[in-house]
């Protein structure tokens, strides 16, 4: 197979070829590493590349195949890990100057499970400073750029993962999502991203477990590849007391065609929740994607959910979290903090305990409003990001003509489902006139990860996207 085509071949197909002994893990890893070497200097998708270790692991994987050993689900497949999770022996910066030269001495939960399933860790993907924002830049190096237009942002905080998958720098990527950090770059880079149900994938190590906000999940070019990686990542672990105490389903089998029909599902479509600014072109493309579900036999209804805008309590808890976790480091070296993070820390320091408690109460009330909505609907569809990728240097000043001074003005469709913990997927659904990807969001009710994946797979079959490649590719 030609090298470029190999780099864009789905992981599920690579896995079958490895098992059939028609393709070697060594060939796959060498092709991907060569592509990283060629493109990463322009993209900055990877902060660290584990080239020697990946080659050694690929050779070992090939030998195991030839010996006829039992193979794990990811045997011989290259996987990238976001640089908020430690992987032993690799650089782990969290996008922070404080850890610019840090080498991890333990594997995080996702890395452990990837390795146990035979996956080969390629390296660590770029992220914003402690994942605090939706643009993938930090003070330790150049920003991550969007493969579709290099002068645009990849999104964040899993921006390196999104850019890497879009550009063919590995088929499987780990991301994490505390306010949209899987879905933002997935949407802006034109790949598939799933924020699973909260607790579906354990989060360890984690200094703020009880915030109950951050989700680990897969970023891939196809839904089946995400299902494969989720099957490996998911499942309980006592190191994360919030993890779902139930074994994962066979997500890959669930999205294998033909999967159970979606006919009769009740689907809500909301273009703006009644308050969110959305670019007209994005609104048109996502509305057309939502309407496709009528063709699948679903009952699609346009709704305005009527809940109160949860932005203020979400922002309050977000800012307090960063002030609590990073405030002492900020006092020590303020020059190692970007203005955006400084603003969050300073805002968090102004919040009283009572105000923070009220924000938590508002989160509870919002969950109840969402639960009531899903008494009437199986899925909720929305735009994912309200605009295409903006400048790599600064955030947009407006969306559809409406001023957007805050990052949270861009995230009206992402952070609500971190507050509620529901599964949510970013599904490519077209391109703007500038050639920038647009995505539809599919949100499921409590723990309905499989249904979200199946709905995404149906849209993928009706309007495939994986064959679309950025000009950089």
Q: Beta partners for 81?
A: 124
Residue 401, classed as helix, strand or coil, is coil
Residue 403, φ and ψ in degrees, nearest 5: -60, 140
Distance of CA 422 to the CA centre of its chain: 14
Alpha carbon distance 85, 121 (integer Å): 12
Residue 426, φ and ψ in degrees, nearest 5: -100, 120
Among candidate residues 251, 406, 279, 262, the one with its CA nearest the CA of residue 344: 406
Q: Which of 96, 128, 154, 181 is catalytic?
A: 181
Active site residue 157: yes
Active site residue 82: yes
Is the sign of the CA dihedral 112, 123, 414, 194 positive or negative?
negative
Q: Which of 154, 157, 270, 426 is catalytic?
A: 157
CB 199 within 8 A of CB 246: no
Calculate helix-pair angle for 11-19, 51-66, nearest 10 degrees: 40
Annotate 351-362 with b (16+ C-beta within 10 A) or e (fewer): beeeebeebeeb
Secondary structure in 3-state letters for 161-173: HHHHHHCCCCCEE
* CA-to-CA separations, 341 to 139, 209, 247, 301, 351, in angstroms, rounded: 12, 21, 38, 40, 16
CB 104 within 8 A of CB 60: no
Among candidate residues 205, 208, 148, the one with its CA nearest the CA of residue 178: 208
Residue 102, φ and ψ in degrees, nearest 5: -75, 135
CB 246 within 8 A of CB 389: no
Q: Which of 24, 80, 82, 128 is catalytic?
A: 82
Active site residue 96: no
Q: What are the catalytic residues?
A: 82, 157, 181
């Amino acid at each position: 197979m030609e090298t470029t085509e190999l780099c864009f071949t789905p992981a599920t197909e690579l896995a079958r070829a490895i098992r059939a002994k028609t393709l070697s893990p060594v060939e796959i890893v060498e092709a991907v590493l060569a592509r990283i070497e060629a493109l990463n200097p322009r993209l900055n998708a990877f902060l660290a590349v584990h080239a020697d270790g990946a080659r050694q692991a690929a050779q070992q994987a090939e030998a195991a195949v030839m010996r006829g050993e039992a193979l794990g689900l990811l045997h011989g497949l290259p996987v990238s890990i976001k640089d908020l999770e430690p992987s032993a022996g690799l650089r782990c910066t969290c996008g922070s100057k404080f850890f610019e030269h840090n080498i991890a001495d333990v594997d995080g939960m996702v890395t452990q499970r990837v390795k146990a399933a035979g996956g080969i860790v390629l390296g660590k993907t770029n992220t914003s400073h402690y994942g605090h924002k939706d643009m993938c830049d930090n003070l330790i190096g150049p920003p991550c750029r969007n493969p579709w237009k290099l002068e645009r942002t990849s999104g964040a905080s899993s921006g390196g993962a999104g850019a890497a998958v879009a550009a063919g720098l590995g088929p499987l990527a780990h991301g994490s999502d505390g306010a949209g950090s899987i879905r933002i770059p997935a949407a802006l880079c034109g790949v598939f991203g799933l924020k699973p149900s909260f607790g579906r994938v354990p989060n360890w190590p984690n200094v703020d477990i009880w915030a109950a906000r951050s989700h680990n999940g897969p970023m891939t070019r196809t839904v089946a590849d995400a299902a494969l990686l989720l099957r490996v990542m998911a499942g309980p672990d006592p190191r994360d007391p919030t993890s779902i105490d139930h074994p994962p389903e066979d997500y890959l089998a669930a999205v294998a065609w033909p999967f159970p029909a979606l006919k009769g599902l009740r689907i809500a479509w909301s273009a703006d929740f009644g308050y969110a600014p959305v670019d007209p072109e994005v609104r048109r493309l996502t509305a057309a994607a939502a309407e496709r579900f009528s063709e699948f036999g679903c009952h699609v209804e346009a709704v305005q959910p009527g809940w109160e805008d949860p932005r203020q309590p979400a922002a309050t808890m977000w800012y307090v979290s960063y002030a609590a976790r990073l405030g002492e480091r900020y006092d020590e070296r303020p020059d190692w903090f970007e203005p955006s993070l400084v603003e969050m820390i300073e805002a968090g320091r102004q919040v009283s305990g009572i105000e923070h408690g009220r924000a938590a109460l508002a989160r509870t009330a919002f969950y109840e409003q969402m639960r009531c909505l899903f008494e009437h609907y199986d899925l909720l569809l929305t735009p994912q990001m309200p605009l295409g990728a903006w400048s790599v240097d600064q955030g947009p000043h407006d969306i559809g003509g409406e001023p957007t001074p805050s990052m949270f003005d861009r995230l009206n469709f992402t952070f609500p489902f971190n507050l509620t913990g529901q599964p949510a997927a970013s599904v490519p659904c077209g391109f703007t006139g500038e050639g920038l990807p647009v995505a539809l969001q599919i949100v499921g009710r409590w723990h309905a990860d499989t249904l979200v994946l199946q709905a995404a797979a149906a849209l993928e079959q009706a309007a495939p996207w994986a064959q679309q490649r950025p000009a950089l590719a």
